[in-house]
Structure 1
């Protein structure tokens, strides 16, 4: 294993959220968030078996909803599958 001496962890807002944290933020069950991710309706990063959600995505979705004073579809932040033509 690599040694992490000298690596500083800056306090501050998280860079990623767990599915459970996202579910709590949005007032829904974690299973609902997992289903949305599996359906390609919500952005996430998979590292081995773990799914995490970038905090920047949550912020961008919220900022757009506030700026445009409208409902924002989170699926707009899900990248197109590799090899698909747009």
Structure 2
């Protein structure tokens, strides 16, 4: 039973992260017009990292979330605003 609850929780976390990435992607397209290299430089990370995150192949650390938010002229709080973990059973 605990394993099932844990798996449901992880699935919900993955959905939240996908929503955050979607928000980042929309802002990225608006500000950087799809230029991953410029976004990576402004976020102080590699273009490979940007590519992996935007494809949901890599998770985002809090540190990187803050740097990406800054590069997008927003805040991490704004990117996380109104996200809610829902219990899906």
TM above 0.5: no
Structure with greater proportional helix content: 2
**Higher strand proportion:** 1
When the two structures are superposed, what TM-score results if normalisation uses the length of structure 2?
0.32
Higher relative contact order by CA 8 Å / sep ≥ 6: 1 or 2?
2
